[in-house]
Amino acid sequence: MERMPLGVSRLDRLIGGGAPTGSVVLAAGDSGAGAREFCYTSAVMNGLAIQEADQFDLHYGSLESSAVLPESVHYVSFTDDQRAVTREMSFVMNDDLVIDGMGAVEFVELAEEYFQLTPVPTEWYAERTATITELGSQTERGDILEAFADYLSAQAAGSLVVVDSITDLVAAADERFDWADLTVLLKGLARASRRWGSVILLLVNSDVLEATEFGRLKEATDGTLLFEWESGGSERARTLVVEQFRGVLSRLEDEDIVRFETEIGDDGFDISTVRKIR
């Protein structure tokens, strides 16, 4: 089974080189617990591997024999522009790494499709103010789920795609589309990703989800990486649990690995300690 690196070298080594190609994976967790930083690291490191191989070797190391790099890396944002995301990445990671890595990443903004039928003024999310004629024709555009699906159909094959974030789609559910539309889309995406040979990371903030909503998202995807805060005495630690993951969880179970303690440094998200069953 071919695997695509997730960009976190210690994790990739433990799971045989990365995520199985043809996987849709939730990167879900508490606010600030590491899910966003994990997605940033995945995009930057894979972009670095494509554009700056020497830098990739220095910061990541060598790939496992079963790992194949993505043909391209895509970062999809529903509400933020590229400048805002790369600036946020630079708060988390070394600025030079972000510049070099993101230079090979195709960044797509779907803000116009996301905000077009909301009270948000056009000038807040578009480069220019729309004319009265353009405002009247906005309802003729495809909705946000259609725009998202069309982009993936055209670009996702053989690629790593980071989606920032499914939380935005959850916020639009009920008013813009039914919850069922979102979960059916993700089930269809999981089916299509196997044909495309891609890995698609879906960032989601679990704080805003009801238990049933979170369960539906997990059921619609191939894997869930759960990022949590764990309290011990006067300190809190970031942890990662692989809740489910086709072709990955069994490897961790064989090694009796139950939880990873994590940290965030200049190279982005990393594994600091592997916690095993004693």
123 against 26, higher pLDDT: 26
Tokens at residue 24, please? 């849709």
Q: Average pLDDT of 75-81? A: 96
Q: Is 235 in contact with 8 (CB distance < 8 Å)? A: no
Q: Render pLDDT for 130-144 as a digit per residue (tens, 0 to 9).
A: 433 343 344 344 589
140 against 22, higher pLDDT: 22
| pLDDT band of 53, cuts 50, 70, 90 | very high
Q: Is 227 in contact with 28 (CB distance < 8 Å)? A: yes
Instruction: Give the architecture-level CATH label for domain 3-276.
Output: 3-Layer(aba) Sandwich (3.40)
Task: Name the average pLDDT for the chain.
Answer: 90
Residue pointed to by tokens 């698609």: 200
Is residue 4 pLDDT above 60, yes or no?
Answer: yes
Least confident span in 84-98, 99-113, 209-223, 225-239: 225-239
Give the model's pLDDT for residue 174: 75
DSSP string across 199-261: EEEEEEEGGG--HHHHHHHHHHSSEEEEEEEEEETTEEEEEEEEEEETTTHHHHHHTTEEEEE
Is residue 22 pLDDT above 70, yes or no?
Answer: yes
> Cα(172)–Cα(48) distance, rounded to whole angstroms?
33
Which sequence spans correspond to the domains of the chain? 3-276
Give the model's pLDDT for residue 140: 40
Is residue 211 pLDDT above 80, yes or no?
Answer: yes
Give the model's pLDDT for residue 143: 87
Distances (CA, A) of 47 to 40, 76, 93: 11, 14, 14
> Cα(163)–Cα(78) distance, rounded to whole angstroms?
8
Is residue 76 pLDDT above 90, yes or no?
Answer: yes
Residue pointed to by tokens 């990486």: 225
Is residue 268 pLDDT above 90, yes or no?
Answer: yes
Least confident span in 19-28, 80-89, 108-117, 266-275: 108-117
Q: Is 165 in contact with 78 (CB distance < 8 Å)? A: yes
| pLDDT band of 100, cuts 50, 70, 90 | very high
Q: Which secondary structure element, helix H or strand E, spans residue 107, and what is its range? A: strand 105-109
| pLDDT band of 68, cuts 50, 70, 90 | very high
Provide the angle, in degrees to the nearest 10, between the axes of the packed helices 82-92 and 95-102: 140
| pLDDT band of 278, cuts 50, 70, 90 | low
Give the model's pLDDT for residue 129: 41
> Cα(197)–Cα(1) distance, rounded to whole angstroms?
11
Share of the chain above pLDDT 70, in %: 92
Give the model's pLDDT for residue 86: 96
Hey, which of 171-185, 214-228, 230-244 has the most confident mean pLDDT? 214-228
Is residue 240 pLDDT above 90, yes or no?
Answer: yes
Tally helices (H) and strands (E) across the chain.
13, 11
